[in-house]
Copies of this chain bind each other. A is one copy, B any other.
Amino acid sequence: MPVKLTAPKASNLLSINGVKLGFAKAHVRKPDRKDILVMTLPENSCVAGVFTQNRFCAAPVILCKTHLAETSGVRALLVNTGCANAGTGEDGLNRAKQTCEALSKLLNIATNQILPFSTGVILEPLPVDKVIAGMPAAIENLTEDNWLNAAEAIMTTDIVAKGTSRQIQLAGKTVTITGISKGSGMIHPNMATMLGYIATDAAISQSALEAIIQYAVNKSFNCITVDGDTSTNDSLIMMATNLAGNAEITETSADFITLRDALTDVAIELAQAIVRDGEGATKFMTVTVESGKDEAECRKVAYAIAHSPLIKTAFFASDPNLGRILAAIGYAGIDDLDVDKLDLYLGDVLVAEKSGRAVSYKEEQGAAIMKESDILVRVVLNRGSENITIWTCDFSYDYVKINADYRS
């Protein structure tokens, strides 16, 4: 079960002026399941994207990048679940193009004004006919208040739909932000089998939106891991419809930071939701590494902890087997690490110092914290001034079950 995470109410996901969402049950892989999503944007919207670093990036990712490079006038997004259209070579690219062409005719826009996204099983051909056959129904129900349906339509192994909204004031104008995401396994920075869509009605320049998405992704989706696997299909899209009536935000605007932080806050909540709904997760772990020489070494230590199956299974068992955390710090790859200097905390309890168990530490303290569902692991390296925080979950029987059963 997800860790302290429930699906949002439809009424809590605020409409974004100009953004319409429609879904359909296209039977891509399973019957009776919302599995395609169409989003449409008004003219003059700005759109920015960040995509997987995986060399086997999926056909729709290649096409998204091409279309974003070709046009500044993106008008629609198309998402299907059930098939990732990855590891599908030239044929996969053709199939992704066919879906964009079909949708472009139905919406009367250019093919490259459409961004396609797929998530699901890799190495299988996209059933183009099913996706196309589902489009009319999705277009039929395009409305601005369909965000919860949209969040449900992009789920794969997710247990709960993920979405959140914010409102901020920019120079007296109310600006609304709503985002949805999906993802549960194959979650790792740069990035996850994760799809994220964040829309706002704010007026913002293209370059300011691109600066914000880079900032936000580094503080959110690039700080989560479930299993260390980086997907072929990860995509985060930020969209601004420019309909809120605010003065256009640029990188030098007084309100730039306000909007950036609000969008980043939404991105963080959506990213954390993915971990809370991590495959088989029973615990949500925040791993903070402090006072490193640089951010890179902090990340190394944080991910060594967050990826260790031994640590993740110990958290699953609520076993304060903290030596496993020391071991992970030790093999994280900091060659000149002085283990005598670092401090390890579980929650606010000092667990280890001077390369051994802290004199003040009592196992009952660790045991009590390990029973909680939200747990902080804090490593203080005492060798510099950089910090990092990432989020992960534990490793349970259900992780194995979900991933052993996925295709069947």
Contact = CB atoms under 8 A, between A and B. Distances in A.
Interface stretch (A22-30, A38-46, A87-95): A87-95
A242 B340 CA distance: 41
Given A186-B310, A310-B227, A354-B90, A84 B323 contact: yes
Contact of A308 (B55, B228, B356): B228
B86 A327 contact: yes
Contacts of A317: 403-405, 408
A309 interface: yes
Interface in A329-357: 329-332, 334-335, 337, 339-340, 352, 354-357
Contacts of A124: 323, 357
Contacts of A122: 321, 323-324, 326-327
Q: Which DSSP category, helix, strand, loop or mixed, fits chain A's interface?
A: loop
Interface in A288-322: 307-310, 313-314, 316-317, 319, 321-322
A279 to B, nearest CB: 9
Contacts of A54: 327, 330-331
A286 to B, nearest CB: 21
A354 B91 CA distance: 10
Given A56-B327, A89-B354, A123-B323, 18 more contacts: A54-B330, A55-B335, A56-B339, A88-B355, A89-B340, A89-B355, A90-B354, A91-B356, A123-B352, A123-B356, A188-B331, A229-B308, A232-B327, A310-B403, A314-B403, A316-B400, A395-B400, A397-B400
